[in-house]
């Protein structure tokens, strides 16, 4: 069978179930389906989320980078760098994430772990999507095109090659984790 497998095929849907299940198990075992764990990241009381994310980025990124250079992948999946939209969207996302206590993926996962407020917030997310669609024509005209840099990567704008980025990120993250484990402020408070 040749890769990649079409996501609209039956095999693609079966894989979606497998990948989704793995993702859900990982989110739950990583404790990021818990409201307190997510909110306490932003209060520097519990750095679980940071550890999960940075490890995922470094492990995932180095692997994807290697596979790309081996010619195993078809290409990058880079989202447009619309700077104004990213700043406004990121700011709203940060506010929403603390108020809701989840991000979209962990919120969906948390519903099934018994979090009733995650379910209510899921309906809020659906409402937010509706509001977005109705404001989309206006945003297209006034926001999305402002500071549009296109699908650029750090290596494109800085002229520092990927391998150097990964060396710095991997060493930086490793040192950060070592330091965190040393000072022990990562200890959960709950």
Partner 1 sequence: MASEKSSSLSLRASSWSPYAVGAGIGLLSWLVFLVVNKPLGMSTEISKFSGCATSLMTGWEKMVANPYWAKTTPAFGYSTVFLIFTAIGAGVSALLGGTFRLEKVPALWSAHHGKGTAKRMAAAFVGGMILLYGARLAGGCTSGHGISGTLQLAVSSWIFFAVLFAAGIVTARLLFRNPNTAE
Closest approach of partner 1 to the CB of residue 182, in Å: 15
Burial class (CB in 10 A: 0-12, 13-18, 19+), 121: buried
Residues numbered 101 to 140 that lie near partner 1 (CB under 8 A) are 101-118, 120-134, 136-137, 139-140
Q: Is 172 an interacting residue with respect to partner 1 (CB under 8 A)?
A: no
CB of 65 to partner 1, least distance (A): 8
Q: Indicate which single residue of 2, 79, 183, 184 sits in contact with partner 1 (rule: CB under 8 A).
A: 79
Return phi, psi of residue 153, to 5°.
Answer: -115, 160
Residue 108: which H helix or E strand, with range?
helix 104-111
Burial of 60 per CB tally in 10 Å (0-12, 13-18, 19+): exposed
Contact 5, 15 (CB under 8 A): yes
| Residue 168 binding partner 1, by CB under 8 A | no
Cα–Cα distance between 98 and 100 in angstroms, integer?
A: 6
164 binds partner 1 (CB under 8 A): no
Kindly state whether residue 92 participates in binding partner 1, applying the rule CB under 8 A: yes
Exactly one of 159, 183, 184, 190 binds partner 1 (CB under 8 A); that residue is 190
Question: Is residue 180 a contact residue for partner 1 (CB under 8 A)?
Answer: no
């Amino acid at each position: 069978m040749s890769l990649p497998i079409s996501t609209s095929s039956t095999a693609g849907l079966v894989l979606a179930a497998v990948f989704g299940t793995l993702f859900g198990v990982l989110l739950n075992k990583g404790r990021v389906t818990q409201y307190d764990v997510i909110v306490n990241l932003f209060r520097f009381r519990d750095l679980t989320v940071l550890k999960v994310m940075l490890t995922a980025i470094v492990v995932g990124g180095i692997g994807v980078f290697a596979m790309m250079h081996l010619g195993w992948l078809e290409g990058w999946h880079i989202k447009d760098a619309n700077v104004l939209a990213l700043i406004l969207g990121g700011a709203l996302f940060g506010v929403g994430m603390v108020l809701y206590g989840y991000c979209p993926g962990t919120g969906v996962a948390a519903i099934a772990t018994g979090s009733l407020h995650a379910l209510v917030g899921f309906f809020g997310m659906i409402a937010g999507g509706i509001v977005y669609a109705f404001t989309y024509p206006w945003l297209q005209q006034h926001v999305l095109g402002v500071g549009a840099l296109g699908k650029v990567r750090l290596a494109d704008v800085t002229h520092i090659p990927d391998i150097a980025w990964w060396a710095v990120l991997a060493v930086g993250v490793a040192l950060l984790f070592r330091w965190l484990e040393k000072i022990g402020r990562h200890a959960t408070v709950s």
